[in-house]
Structure 1
Amino acid sequence: MAGHSKWANIQHRKGKQDAARGKVFTKLVREITVAARMGGGDPSANPRLRLAMDKAVAASMPKDNIERAVKKATGELEGVSYEEVRYEGYAPGGVAVIVECMTDNRNRTVAEVRHAFTKLGGNMGTDGSVAYMFNRVGVLSFAPGADEEKITEVAIEAGAEDVRVFEDDGSIEVLTDADDFQAVRDAMIAAGVTPDESEVTMRADNDIAVEGDTAKSVAKLLDWLDELDDTQNVYSNADLPADAYE
C-alpha cells in the first residue's frame, strides 16, 4: 500500500525512548498501576495488565519494579493514585491529535498540554472534537525484510483483520480488533512469527499527508506532547515523511 511507512515513525519514537529510559519506566509503571487497579493484579485474567507487563519486560524494567507497581495498585503497598485523562486538539495543517495522560493533578496536566498546543501553532478542542475520527486497534509491526507470505498466512489464521505492506520500505503491519489483539499476538508468536513491535493504539480512519515545514511543525508538537511528564500516548492522523523529524 502507498503512504509513508509507519516503521520510520516507530523507530523515531523508539530512539527517543531509549534516550530517555527513566521516563519510559515512569510511563510503564503508571500503565501497570492503572491496569492492575482497574482489572486486578492477575495478568492471566487482565489483558491490559499483561500487555503492560510484557512491554516493561521488553524495556528491561527490573522484575521488582513491575511487582511493586502491581502491589501498589492492588493495595498491598501504599502508592500514588493516578487517573486517566484525555485531551483532544489540532496541530498545524488541520492534523487531529489525541493526548492520553495519567496524572495525580489534572490542573497541572491540562495547563501543560494547552501550553504545548498554543506554543507550536495548534489549539485544544473539546471532548469528542477529534476522537470520532479514530478507532482503537491492535497493531503488530514487522521490520522491512520480514516474510510477508508467512506473516499473512499466520495472521489470517489467527483472526487478524488486515495485513498491510508498505511499498516504500517493505515493512508490514498486522491489524486486529483491540479485543482480539492478545489472542492474535499469542498465536503468531506460537507460530514462530514474532512482531518487532506490538501495541494497542488509536488509528485514524483517514490520515492527512503533510509535507515540508508543516510536517516539521507537526512532528515538533507531537514530540513536545509526548515528552510531557504526564503523557502516556500521543495519537494523530498525520501521515509524516521520515525527514519531518530531522
Structure 2
Amino acid sequence: MAGHSKWANIQHRKNRQDERKSRLWTKIIREITVSAKNGGPDPDTNPQLRSSLEKASNANIPKENINRAIHKGSKESDTVKYEEIYYEGYGINGSAIIAYAMTDNRTKTASEVRHVFTKNNGNLGQDGSVSFLFKKYGRFIFPAGHNPEEIFETALNFNVEEIETLEDASIEVLCEIEYCTELYNLFKSKFNELKFSNDIIMKPLSLVHLNQEESIKMNKLLLDLENLEDIQSTYTNAILTS
C-alpha cells in the first residue's frame, strides 16, 4: 500500500506539473499570435513579439508551435478573435493591481476576474481606477558583470528612464516605449556577445508596503489571477514582506 501511495503521489505531482506546463504554453502561444497580429511577424520591429518569443524559448515550446502561432496572427488575422483587456482593481490594504488579459469571451473573463478579487478581499475597479498609478516601459535586462556606465552611454540619446543594478547583479534598463525597438537594435549591435532580454512592463509610480500577514493574502490574490486561463500577466504597486 505504501508503494502504491507513493506512486499515486508522484503521478499526482506529475499531472499538476503537466497541467501548469500546458497552461503556460497556451498563454505564451496566445501572446505570440496576438503580438504578431498587432505588430507584425518581425521580432526586430515588434518588441511585444520579441518578448513573447523569449518566453517561448525559456518554456521550451517547440519551434513548429511558435511558427504556427506567428503565421496565424500575421497571415490569418481575421481568424484571431482575442481582445486585449487591462482589468484594474484594488488588493490588500488599498494596493493597486492591473491584470492583463487576452480573451475571446469578455463576459466569462470579467466574471472570473471579479470572483478572484472578491474571494481574496479585493475589489475590481472601473477602467482608469488605478492605471494612473503605473507607466508602461520597455525593459532590458543585461547579465551580471557588465558595466552600467557603458550601457548608460550607449542609451544616452533614447530617454532612458532608469538604469539599476539588481540584487542578482544583473542590470535593468527602462526606456520610453517609442524608443524600445531603436534601443534594442543599438544594444544588439554594440553588445552582440551578451544575451540580454527585452520585454514590456507596467512600472508602479508609487508603492504600498505590506506586512507579512497582508503579503500572504496579497500573494494568494495575485497567484489566483495568474492561474486564470485568460490572464497573461499581473502588475502591482505592493511591496511584499517575506
Q: What TM-score does the superposition give when structure 1 sets the normalisation length?
A: 0.78
2:173 aligns to what SS in structure 1?
strand
For the 8 Å contact 1:140–1:195, the answer to whether it is kept is no
In structure 2, what is the Cα distance between the partners aligned to 1:21 and 1:156?
40
How many residue pairs get matched? 225
Are 2:17 and 1:23 equivalent residues in the alignment? no
In structure 1, the partner of 2:172 is 173
For the 8 Å contact 1:160–1:184, the answer to whether it is kept is no
In structure 1, the partner of 2:186 is 187
Deviations 1:108-154 (A, max 9, x none): 11111111111111111111100111110012234666544444444
For the 8 Å contact 2:117–2:123, the answer to whether it is kept is yes
Paired residues for 1:71-220 under 5 Å: 71-76=71-76, 81-142=81-142, 147-156=147-156, 160-166=160-166, 170-192=169-191, 194=194, 197-220=197-220
Of residues 204-213 and 18-27 in structure 1, the stretch that sits farther from structure 2 once superposed is 18-27
2:61 aligns to what SS in structure 1?
coil
Deviation at 1:66, TM superposition (A): 1.4
In structure 1, what is the Cα distance between the partners aligned to 2:239 and 2:110?
26
2:89 aligns to what SS in structure 1?
strand
Q: Where do 5+ consecutive residues of structure 1 fail to align?
A: 1-16
For the 8 Å contact 1:158–1:187, the answer to whether it is kept is no
For the 8 Å contact 2:139–2:199, the answer to whether it is kept is yes
In structure 2, what is the Cα distance between the partners aligned to 1:207 and 1:77?
39
Deviation at 1:219, TM superposition (A): 1.4
Q: What TM-score does the superposition give when structure 2 sets the normalisation length?
A: 0.79
In structure 2, relative to structure 1, the CA distance for the partners of 1:124 and 1:31 (3 Å cut) is same
2:98 aligns to what SS in structure 1?
strand
For the 8 Å contact 1:72–1:78, the answer to whether it is kept is no
Larger Rg: 2
AA aligned opposite 1:163: I
In structure 1, the partner of 2:9 is none
Deviation at 1:159, TM superposition (A): 5.4
In structure 1, what is the Cα distance between the partners aligned to 2:64 and 2:70?
10
Are 2:242 and 1:228 equivalent residues in the alignment? no
In structure 1, what is the Cα distance between the partners aligned to 2:222 and 2:156?
33
In structure 2, what is the Cα distance between the partners aligned to 1:115 and 1:103?
16
AA aligned opposite 2:222: L
Q: Where do 5+ consecutive residues of structure 2 fail to align?
A: 1-16
Identity score, percent: 39
